[in-house]
Amino acid sequence: MPVFAFKALTEKGKKISGVIDADSFYLAKEKLKKRDVFLLELSEFNAQNKEAGLSSSLLLNFTRELSQLLHAGLPLYESLLTIEEKYRTHRSHSLFIALCDHLKSGGSLSSALQRFPKTFDNIYLSMVRAAEQSGRLSEVFVDLSYLISKQNKLKKQLFAALAYPAFLGGFCFVTVIALFFFVIPSMAELFEGRSLHPLTQTVLSVSQFLTKNQLSLSLFACFSTAALYLSVTNLKIKQHMYAVLIKMPYAKDLLILSSLVRFFRAMHLLLSGGVPLLEALKYARKTMKNSLLEKVIDEAERKIIEGKKLSELLFSPYIPNIVIRMLSIAEEAGNLGQTMKNLADIFEEELDKSLQQLTTFLQPAVLLFLGFIIGVVVLSILLPLTDVSSFLSS
């Protein structure tokens, strides 16, 4: 059935846009008239070339709702059509239309999802392909919704742990800028021609240096930011940065544990969904987002082809010994997928503890630093004011 894109005005004058399916241009106009809207523009919509995407929360809702509808016994096309009707007014509605249109024309669900790589990653596609072959679509979408919910939870935990310290750090930076660029220069005239305490003289000298070199410092800050951004995109520099960060006490736990949680969670679902080990390693490796650990897994992939076991290839200072022991036992028992889940649960619990420790450490540390800077500045101003003899002589 053809799909048409439209723009219209509601009875209250609100401008809306979307897509509608109809057998012809005339029937599309009739459908829109029944919605009591004033049509502004109507054209044929080519879902094949339309690039769309879903946010992480909407992707979770889509996956969860599709699993529920399939579990209730609805056919795949009817399930997608039901979801498409629910999100008909949503800005990502074109994606659901494209999926329905592709299935109606005889295509598979995995090939339909493959057209939107920004939304559906390789893990998602691999599990759907395996499910189409085994007939376990409803179970696989339950697993996928679980994986996405865990990934979203991990992002929220990391954000929650770092948001408040980052806010304090930003406030500290703004306060220091205000003191050295505005407050201290406005009081500099008060101390002219007087013998000053070394602390006061140092603070005034720093303030004068900063105000005189504002342009140079601004250019340096912009250049440093651009250089840092470019270096992050370079793999070798990125590896060196990770090597430095991993040596720091709290950063080490966060980087390694969060990467291992994502990796083992993805491995569990891929292996449970029937994806071969090598393919599962290839896709799960990309979820780690840690170049040093990705390099270890990449080397393991090459040696597994030679017939070696996975547990024999993960010896690294960045991977805990418990991983090697548990994987070795799992390979002998033949329950590698379940062991991956157990490892993900173990490291997720350790990550929660590390995040709590980081939050407990960072908040007072930033506050102490801010208090120290303000205290030094205030003390440098108060010291000359307490020198009564200098006032009398002046």
Q: What is the pLDDT of residues 66-121, one digit of tens each?
A: 999 998 889 998 999 899 888 877 777 778 888 887 888 788 898 889 888 888 88
pLDDT at 68: 92
pTM for this predicted structure: 0.67
Across residues 290-313, what is the average pLDDT?
86
Round to whole Å and give the CA distance between 272 and 264. Answer: 12
pLDDT at 326: 92
- Percentage of residues in the chain with pLDDT exceeding 90? 7
Biggest CA pair distance of the chain: 97
Task: Indicate the number of domains in the chain.
Answer: 2
Q: pLDDT-based confidence at 49, cuts 50/70/90?
A: very low
26 and 110 in one domain? no
Beta-ladder partners of 143: none
The per-residue pLDDT for range 237-284, each reduced to its tens digit, is: 666 766 676 677 667 778 888 889 989 988 998 888 888 888 888 888
Asked which of 130, 149, 168 is the last residue of a domain, the reply is 149
| Residue 9 is assigned to a structural domain of this protein | yes
Burial class (CB in 10 A: 0-12, 13-18, 19+), 369: middle
Q: Which of 221-225, 303-307, 384-388 has the lowest mean pLDDT?
A: 384-388
63 and 145 in one domain? yes
- Res. 334: pLDDT tops 80: yes
- Res. 177: pLDDT tops 90: no
Across residues 4-8, what is the average pLDDT?
75
| Residue 133 is assigned to a structural domain of this protein | yes
Q: Which of 139-143, 198-202, 212-216 has the highest mean pLDDT?
A: 139-143
Across residues 313-332, what is the average pLDDT?
88
pLDDT at 63: 92
76 and 35 in one domain? no
How many residues comprise the chain?
394
72 and 134 in one domain? yes
Round to whole Å and give the CA distance between 379 and 209. Answer: 20
8 and 71 in one domain? no
Separation of CA 188 from chain center: 46
Asked which of 84, 117, 149 is the last residue of a domain, the reply is 149
Average pLDDT, the chain: 81
| Residue 66 is assigned to a structural domain of this protein | yes
Using only C-alpha atoms, the chain has a radius of gyration, in whole angstroms, of 30
40 CB contacts (<8 Å, ≥6 apart)?
6, 7, 8, 9, 15
| Residue 104 is assigned to a structural domain of this protein | yes
| Residue 375 is assigned to a structural domain of this protein | no
Which has more confidence, 35 or 118? 118
| Residue 101 is assigned to a structural domain of this protein | yes
Round to whole Å and give the CA distance between 104 and 106. Answer: 5
- Res. 232: pLDDT tops 70: no
Across residues 14-24, what is the average pLDDT?
72
* H or E segment and range at residue 375: helix 336-386
- Res. 307: pLDDT tops 70: yes
243 CB contacts (<8 Å, ≥6 apart)?
292
pLDDT at 239: 63
Q: pLDDT-based confidence at 202, cuts 50/70/90?
A: confident
| Residue 131 is assigned to a structural domain of this protein | yes
- Res. 340: pLDDT tops 80: yes
| Helices (runs of H) and strands (runs of E) counted in the chain | 17, 3
**Two tokens, residue 285:** 């490796």
- 275 in helix, strand or coil? coil
- Res. 48: pLDDT tops 60: no
Round to whole Å and give the CA distance between 117 and 257. Answer: 27
| Residue 279 is assigned to a structural domain of this protein | no
79 and 21 in one domain? no
pLDDT at 364: 82
Asked which of 149, 184, 211 is the last residue of a domain, the reply is 149
109 and 28 in one domain? no
**Residue range of the domain that includes 22:** 3-44
